Structure 1
């Protein structure tokens, strides 16, 4: 345990790790709090002291992973075209590294498996706490750029879609299917630079 970590933090972390393992192995619907408690080597009383339900545990897991994909700290307000593109590229590197992280990949596989069984709980949580906050942050960043005359306000959605399409490409699908090795740090850096250049071309001449 980290010297600054509180005992409660350690117990909560153990429950979350156990829940993650159980969800991935058994699926959200089939997972039980009894199995989570057993693997975390704790009691149901302790589990319910931290989480009201299995759903609450899922939300905590998704939020933790999703927060790491979001711009942190908040993206700085762009002052000019060069800074706008530089910040965009930096965000792209951090986002893609977290987006393709093995734990995030496992959660997406879980969402797909649950959807195939007719359940959409994991997918909904990933959307609410993952995709939506990222899109809000990016939209705000592009709107600030539009206010500075860096981009056109009527092209914001198109530019965001182009950026993410080039940044992610088929990488997530290949990672989910296991048909290609995980992207290296250099490959992630290259993709972020490529997404920046694609966005820059969309902006046209300075």
Structure 2
């Protein structure tokens, strides 16, 4: 059976929306919020301004949706097994940390962070979108991992949020700030894995369950 007219129209609208988001992100990255006009975005996306405004209310809504779209790369695309022993937990924490850092070190994601900082006063929705769609799912996934480890007696029963804050502070140090300032280049995979393993080892040492050693 062929596609219905409604299905075809829905797919065309989705494809057009994707083109606008890609064009908008490129324009905002190159020209900034003020320099990227809706006409510029429409031209790059090969749509009319009327079609663009049928999809988005204004330029501000385009940039917020661009941020939501790009922050998918920050999310950790891992199917993490439930660790059965301390060594397995160490390996899982290391794998998580490496993937989390790799996602944020992506050049487009760093651009999103810089843009959110630049536009924080004028468009606070950008920072909220970055936090809700990027940082929070990652943090929630880590906390869920810690809660399961605590249930299984692999870590002491302390606040998972405390463990999360400790882990991510060790993971990044001042690296993210230096990346955003353009002082250093994104680390190679081997360095990311080394930083992640160091953070995982510190977490295991700091929050090891006392009764597990027996």
**Which interval holds the TM-score relative to the shorter structure?**
0.7 to 0.9
Residue 153 of structure 2 is matched in structure 1 by 149
TM-score (normalizing by structure 1): 0.83
Question: For residues 58 and 118 of structure 1, what CA distance do their matches in structure 2 show?
Answer: 12
Q: Which runs of 5+ in 1 are unaligned?
A: 1-5
Number of aligned residues: 200
Q: CA RMSD in A?
A: 2.5
67-76 or 153-162: bigger deviation: 67-76
Residue 82 of structure 2 is matched in structure 1 by 77
Q: Is the 8 A contact 1:109 1:176 kept in 2?
A: yes
Q: Is the 8 A contact 1:27 1:113 kept in 2?
A: no
Structure 2 residue matching 1:154: 3-state secondary structure? coil
Q: Is the 8 A contact 1:33 1:44 kept in 2?
A: yes
TM-score (normalizing by structure 2): 0.80
Q: Is the 8 A contact 1:59 1:125 kept in 2?
A: yes
Residue 128 of structure 1 is matched in structure 2 by 132
The structure with the largest alpha-carbon Rg is 2
Deviations 1:21-48, CA, capped at 9 Å, x for gaps:
2222444466432221012222234435
Structure 2 residue matching 1:163: 3-state secondary structure? helix
Q: Is the 8 A contact 2:103 2:109 kept in 1?
A: yes
Residue 106 of structure 1 is matched in structure 2 by 111
Residue 181 of structure 1 is matched in structure 2 by 185
